[in-house]
Amino acid sequence: MEYEFTIIVPLYNEAENLIRVEEKLASYIQKAPIKTSVLFVNDGSKDNSLTLVEDICQRNEAFHFISFDRNRGLSAAIKAGIDYCKAPLVGYIDSDLQTDPEDFNLLLEHIGEFDLVTGMRTNRKDSFKKNLSSLIANGIRRSFTHDGMDDTGCPLKVIKTDYAKRIPMFKGLHRFLPAMILLQGGKIVQIPVRHYPRIAGEAKFHLMNRLVGPFLDCFAYLWMKRNYINYQVAKKDNF
């Protein structure tokens, strides 16, 4: 079946959330404005997440999965999802469901004009420490990238797949997706979306990997920006 939009769902030890993820996404794709599929990327979970994902995919035609041999990290999971995506549009949502799949519609409204549309979480339902570390990390990243984005950590995005596939991903680059679209000459925009508290499972990020990791990744981004190869073919023959 030809899909127009694929939603990537990276997951690591999220067994407590997966039935709720199935219900929410199955409900969404029934009323989505375009034909939509779901691609789970199991990032080497050590609980029974993979078993649950396999069962979910067996009973839902539009749900599919890939599973890593071991834990590789969020950036690797997103890259794998993009690599396996065949639809012209690719999205991304976290399996903790702190954002609402229905808000993809808000992003899809703008994807014709833009090449990446990212959510911006409003009225965040996280702890003070988590909100503060996110604010600091976003400020640091924005000072390096000048991408104008206030919340690149928002786990709700829609990207034109041909742009997404040209992103040379490295560990931590999921925080720089808007900046990487800009390097290709693409257009980006952020749209306010709803945010909810985590009600099951455990957060995978803490103060140190919200601040130290993003700071160091900024230097990797600067190296890539200096060396990034970008071109457009003006003419070709019929080969």
Give the pLDDT of residue 217.
Answer: 78
Whether residue 238 lies inside any domain: the answer is: no
Whether residue 23 lies inside any domain: the answer is: yes
Rounded to 10 deg, the angle between the 128-145 and 207-227 helix axes is 10
Q: How many domains is the chain partitioned into structurally?
A: 1
Q: Which range of residues forms the domain containing residue 154?
A: 5-227
**Taking the alpha carbons of 216, 220, 223, 225 in that order, is the dihedral positive or negative?**
negative
Task: Let me know: does 200 contact 18? Beta carbons within 8 Å.
Answer: no
Give the pLDDT of residue 121.
Answer: 84
Supply angle C-alpha 111, 157, 79, rounded to 5.
115
Whether residue 87 lies inside any domain: the answer is: yes
Supply angle C-alpha 123, 190, 230, rounded to 5.
145
Task: Let me know: does 196 contact 154? Beta carbons within 8 Å.
Answer: no
Give the pLDDT of residue 211.
Answer: 62
Whether residue 232 lies inside any domain: the answer is: no
**Taking the alpha carbons of 87, 90, 93, 99 in that order, is the dihedral positive or negative?**
negative
Give the pLDDT of residue 142.
Answer: 67
The amino acid occupying position 154 is C
Can you give the pLDDT of all 239 residues of the chain as single tens digits?
799 999 999 999 999 999 999 999 999 999 999 999 999 999 999 999 999 999 999 999 999 999 999 999 998 999 999 999 999 999 999 998 899 999 999 999 999 999 999 998 887 655 555 655 666 666 666 666 677 777 877 889 999 999 999 988 777 777 888 988 998 999 999 999 998 876 765 655 555 555 666 777 777 777 777 877 777 788 888 77
Q: Which residues of 208-217 are buried (b: 16+ CB within 10 A; e: fewer)?
A: eebbeebeeb
Which pTM was predicted? 0.82
Q: How far is CA 123 from CA 31, 126, 141, 158, 212, in A?
A: 26, 9, 21, 21, 25
Whether residue 233 lies inside any domain: the answer is: no
As a whole number of angstroms, the distance between CA 152 and CA 134 comes to: 10
Whether residue 235 lies inside any domain: the answer is: no
What single-letter DSSP state applies at residue 88? S
Whether residue 237 lies inside any domain: the answer is: no
CATH of the domain at 79: 3.90.550.10
Q: Give kind and range of the element (H or E) at residue 128.
A: helix 128-145
**Taking the alpha carbons of 172, 83, 11, 135 in that order, is the dihedral positive or negative?**
positive
Whether residue 234 lies inside any domain: the answer is: no
